[in-house]
């Protein structure tokens, strides 16, 4: 999940929304990484719901993945862009906290 988040940031680094709208390769890469991230979140939710619940926008990421996977003809680039700009930082922070908590429980 952390790799997907890092890749998402890299794919839009230095781009404006207008640049992103024109860059079909970046859009495809972002879509793919949201699919990967969303599927990983889905699996985490099913395997460890108590851990998943600590990730504030986890359900949004799963929903984004489902929208990409099942609704290509209605996908709006602005939704992808806003998810990166608005939600990704929180997901990344929550994920880091969860990882530290889980690691800490195994260190004891």
pTM (global) more than 0.75: yes
Q: Which two tokens stand for residue 52?
A: 């998943």
User: Which secondary structure element, helix H or strand E, spans residue 87, and what is its range?
Assistant: none
Task: State the DSSP code for 3.
Answer: H
Closest CA to 82 of 12, 2, 1, 6: 12
pLDDT in tens, 19-63: 999 999 999 999 999 999 999 999 999 999 999 999 999 999 999
pLDDT in tens, 71-106: 767 788 999 999 999 989 899 999 999 888 877 666
* 2 close to 92: Cβ distance less than 8 angstroms: yes
Q: Exposure of 72 by Cβ count < 10 A (0-12 exposed, 13-18 middle, 19+ buried)?
A: exposed
| DSSP for 11-78, written as a single string | HHTT--HHHHHH-HHHHHHHHHHHHHHHHHHHHHHHH-HHHHTTSTTHHHHHHHHHHHHH-GGG--HH
């Amino acid at each position: 999940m952390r790799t997907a988040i890092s890749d998402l940031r890299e794919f839009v680094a230095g781009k404006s929304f207008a640049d992103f709208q024109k860059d079909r390769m970046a859009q495809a890469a972002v879509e793919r990484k949201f699919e990967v991230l969303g599927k990983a979140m889905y699996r985490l939710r099913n395997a460890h719901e108590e851990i998943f619940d600590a990730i504030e926008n986890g359900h949004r990421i799963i929903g984004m993945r489902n929208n990409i996977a099942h609704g290509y003809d209605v996908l709006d680039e602005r939704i992808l862009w806003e998810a990166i700009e608005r939600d990704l930082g929180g997901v990344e922070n929550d994920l880091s906290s969860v990882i530290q908590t889980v690691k800490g429980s195994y260190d004891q």
